[in-house]
A and B are shown apart, each in its own frame.
Chain A
């Protein structure tokens, strides 16, 4: 070992060097953090896309999604009989239970759920973390477009779907002729 106090001197040198640099931190409430589009802040719901298939609620590891619906008859002109359609009454996510794993979003076959980097929804009472479909719908506005994939990998499913549509092929769910 070298001179006594060498370790301390080295440490102080680091501190001095850092003192001359710009601060590394941001003053949060004044300066918003720069979050990447994939950030898992909150789950937003695009209620129009939801068909009440319940896959998200079933796949959720701690069952924090609550869905209620009723059936409605839709009379299609020209069809022999009226068709039934599921109408979403309630779509609640309890964010006090949510583990932010994103399985519901992955499981959704109709792209009704999205991640948003929005995170400022802290509450004073844990009860208030249960958010309904109106609140979840409001968060849709904060959903950023997904980032482009690395060109070495496979393109995002959004891109392939769009290319298919542009190519004239029928998109994932072709509008079926009424029976």
Chain B
């Protein structure tokens, strides 16, 4: 990095270098700089982290077990809550799995509406982290800009679904109901507004010297490490894993769109942040394309279902590119109205595992920078 002094660590000894015992420090489960209740058990040598063990489960709500005693409509309620920042995408995965098992063909209009909403949900999720991550490392301003944009898009989501976080708009076989008249126009306007104002956020933080100093070269996750830990989504792509289910295993109608996949190779905190920021632009474009398509399609947005929805005996695995990475839904049905088992593979769970290799060797202040840049939701880890 030109223009930035090389950081050099100097060990200044006083006296006859005493052997100090390593300190065990628990970050969390309640700590202002962790989101939610992730606990990190650190072994420190002075300011340096020697080892790190993420301890998960403080927020375990037994979602998978609850799925086994809920019918498919009720599962959608629960499924949109484990990762509360990507509720729509979570619902989508469940609906896709059930639809595949039941052999339901979803009407075109519903497919494209789902994609539009999923992309808007992705933008909402990313904006959250684009605001909160700088906040964690001391930049207070960007969060206001991020939330201004979030508010604009949330209004659109709320108008269609009635919810601001837990949309509950997916149903097996399509969507809950048709969007209100003029909604696609207002959604397009909102997208235009966000796209116009996004440079504000971009200018504030992307190349800010202090932000660069805190993030460039910090917490480097190599592509092989990312792959080994199963990191996906923005975290994986920032390390150079060029993998995006929207392009590589298209679900819904993503096959008909060309999805530009944002990647970086550095694998540091800054590239993770940049992937997120650039994905917002991409998702806004995709959402707009989907809305244009929606306007050209007519017809219903759901199929008529039997009074009691039962998935036939069998199993299926549906995976989706959620905002934070790959979410997988392994559904095993024995022909009941509830699944026999529904296993969740969540992005955050895999992504935080990488902390074990990422943190040793770094300094405590960098820990906050790295932790924040792994972009996880604790509910998504603990389920």
Q: How far is the CB of A140 from chain B (nearest CB, A)?
A: 17
Q: Which one, A64-72, A126-134, A150-158, is touching chain B?
A: A150-158
Contact A14 B158 (CB under 8 A): no
Contact A148 B141 (CB under 8 A): no
User: B306 interface residue, CB < 8 Å from A?
Assistant: no
Contact B300 A13 (CB under 8 A): no
Give the residue of B77, B294, B298 whose beta carbon is less than 8 angstroms from that of A99. Answer: B77
Closest to B3 in A: A4
Q: Which residues of chain A have C-beta atoms less than 8 A from B204's C-beta? A: 10-11, 14-15
User: A97 interface residue, CB < 8 Å from B?
Assistant: no
Closest to A17 in B: B200
User: B336 interface residue, CB < 8 Å from A?
Assistant: no
Q: Determine chain A's interface SS by DSSP, over half rule.
A: loop
Q: Which one, B180-188, B246-254, B279-287, is touching chain A?
A: B180-188
Q: Which residues of chain A have C-beta atoms less than 8 A from B155's C-beta? A: 36
User: B1 interface residue, CB < 8 Å from A?
Assistant: yes
The answer for the CA separation of A18 and B109 in the assembled complex, in Å, is 39
Contact A36 B141 (CB under 8 A): no
The answer for the CA separation of A41 and B77 in the assembled complex, in Å, is 16
Contact A24 B180 (CB under 8 A): no
Give the residue of A4, A106, A115, A149 whose beta carbon is less than 8 angstroms from that of B179. Answer: A149
**Interface positions of A from 71 to 104, Cβ below 8 Å from B:** 99-103
The answer for the CA separation of A156 and B181 in the assembled complex, in Å, is 11
Contact B159 A36 (CB under 8 A): yes
Contact A156 B158 (CB under 8 A): no
Give the residue of B1, B2, B166 whose beta carbon is less than 8 angstroms from that of A100. Answer: B166
Q: Which residues of chain A have C-beta atoms less than 8 A from B362's C-beta? A: none
Given contacts A7-B212, A99-B77, whether A156 and B295 have CB atoms under 8 Å apart is: no
A124-166 interface mask toward B, CB cutoff 8 Å, 1 = contact, 0 = none? 0000000000000000000000011111111110000000000
The answer for the CA separation of A102 and B76 in the assembled complex, in Å, is 11
Q: Which residues of chain A have C-beta atoms less than 8 A from B130's C-beta? A: none
Give the residue of B141, B177, B183, B300 whose beta carbon is less than 8 angstroms from that of A156. Answer: B177
Q: How far is the CB of A42 from chain B (nearest CB, A)?
A: 12
Given contacts A101-B168, A102-B162, A154-B301, whether A24 and B148 have CB atoms under 8 Å apart is: yes
Contact A39 B158 (CB under 8 A): yes
Contact B180 A154 (CB under 8 A): no
Contact B203 A150 (CB under 8 A): no
The answer for the CA separation of A92 and B99 in the assembled complex, in Å, is 34
Q: Which residues of chain B have C-beta atoms less than 8 A from A1's C-beta? A: 1-3, 207
User: A177 interface residue, CB < 8 Å from B?
Assistant: no
Q: Which residues of chain A have C-beta atoms less than 8 A from B141's C-beta? A: 11, 15
The answer for the CA separation of A150 and B175 in the assembled complex, in Å, is 14
Q: Which residues of chain B have C-beta atoms less than 8 A from A103's C-beta? A: 73-74, 77
Give the residue of B70, B109, B206, B295 whose beta carbon is less than 8 angstroms from that of A61. Answer: B70
Contact B162 A152 (CB under 8 A): no
Interface centre among A5, A6, A11, A101 (most CB of B within 10 A): A11
Q: How far is the CB of A9 from chain B (nearest CB, A)?
A: 10
**Interface positions of B from 285 to 301, Cβ below 8 Å from A:** 294-295, 297-301
Given contacts A15-B141, A38-B158, A149-B178, whether A102 and B300 have CB atoms under 8 Å apart is: no
Given contacts A61-B74, A149-B179, whether A38 and B300 have CB atoms under 8 Å apart is: no
Q: Which residues of chain A have C-beta atoms less than 8 A from B2's C-beta? A: 1
Closest to B71 in A: A59
Q: Which residues of chain A have C-beta atoms less than 8 A from B200's C-beta? A: 14, 17-18
The answer for the CA separation of A37 and B2 in the assembled complex, in Å, is 55
The answer for the CA separation of A155 and B298 in the assembled complex, in Å, is 11
User: B352 interface residue, CB < 8 Å from A?
Assistant: no
The answer for the CA separation of A7 and B2 in the assembled complex, in Å, is 14
**Interface positions of A from 6 to 43, Cβ below 8 Å from B:** 6-8, 10-11, 13-15, 17-18, 24, 35-40
User: B160 interface residue, CB < 8 Å from A?
Assistant: yes
Closest to A147 in B: B180
Given contacts A36-B162, A152-B297, whether A11 and B179 have CB atoms under 8 Å apart is: no
Q: Which residues of chain A have C-beta atoms less than 8 A from B47's C-beta? A: none
The answer for the CA separation of A156 and B178 in the assembled complex, in Å, is 8
Contact A39 B299 (CB under 8 A): no
Contact A11 B203 (CB under 8 A): yes
Interface pairs (22), CB distance under 8 Å: A4-B209, A6-B209, A11-B141, A15-B141, A15-B204, A36-B155, A38-B158, A38-B159, A38-B180, A61-B70, A99-B77, A99-B166, A100-B168, A102-B162, A103-B74, A103-B77, A150-B178, A150-B181, A150-B182, A152-B294, A152-B299, A154-B299
Given contacts A1-B3, A39-B162, A154-B299, 9 further A-B contacts (CB under 8 A): A7-B212, A35-B158, A36-B158, A106-B73, A115-B162, A150-B183, A153-B301, A154-B300, A156-B177
6 smallest A-B Cβ distances: which pairs?
A153-B178, A147-B180, A38-B162, A149-B178, A61-B74, A101-B77
